[in-house]
Amino acid sequence: MQTTLMEAIQEDDFRQAVKVVQVVKALEAVGAYTATDVLSESDTNTFGTSWEFEDIVRGDGDSGYIIAALVASQSESIVPRLTMFLFNKQPTSELDDNAFNTAPSETDVSRGIYVGRIDFPAMSSVGTTDSNAIATPSTSGNIPLPFKCAVGSRSLHGILATKDAFTQTPTENMTVIIVCDRGEVTR
């Protein structure tokens, strides 16, 4: 008997092996973004935070593979190319909105917390829908991306930056979804 995609997704083994984690931020976006700006919820010095993808693995310090990622904005008809820099601990790089991106900093690389980056293709929208982009193994976004969480942690931290100038409507949401293969299910 052949299994349909929906049946496979509903199977307990699949749900345990693949984890989908979503982070939503209302971007401050007071002014237009310039190329290399950080996208975050606050442009007040030191008030921006990383994009934290919690419980992306089963156990503290576990590893996995990012197999897909999606970014979506409530702002329509924006077409920036975005990059998500990923770390297994809180990064020391710039986190404030509309600030010049410094990720990955040499400090974060030498501390061994820099995991890698996901390069999203240009965002797009059709009609009056929100703008979005998806990175998969068939795009040039560095996926699949292996990672290992820090000892005592089940999270990854991200810094989202733009490669292109664009204008996001202030306080509208930006959503990043990461799909992670957490490996074999053991029973």
Model pLDDT for residues 128-183, shown as the tens digit of each residue: 678 999 999 999 889 999 999 999 999 999 999 999 999 998 989 999 999 999 87
Q: Which of 25, 73, 89, 75 is nearest to 51 (CA)?
A: 25
Q: Which of 47, 28, 35, 13 is nearest to 161 (CA)?
A: 35
The least confident of 28-32, 109-113, 122-126 is 28-32
Q: Residue 184 — very low, low, confident or very high, per pLDDT cuts 50/70/90?
A: low
CB atoms within 10 A of CB 117: 17
Q: Which of 22, 115, 144 is nearest to 72 (CA)?
A: 22
CATH topology for the 19-181 domain: Jelly Rolls (2.60.120)
Distance from C-alpha of 41 to C-alpha of 126, rounded to nearest angstrom: 26
**Alpha helices by DSSP H, 136-183:** none
Model pLDDT for residues 79-89, shown as the tens digit of each residue: 999 999 999 99
The C-alpha angle 88, 91, 96, rounded to 5 degrees, equals: 135
Cβ(120)–Cβ(69) below 8 Å: yes
In this predicted structure, what is the pLDDT of residue 99?
A: 94
Residue type at position 144: P
CB atoms within 10 A of CB 184: 9
pTM for the model? 0.88
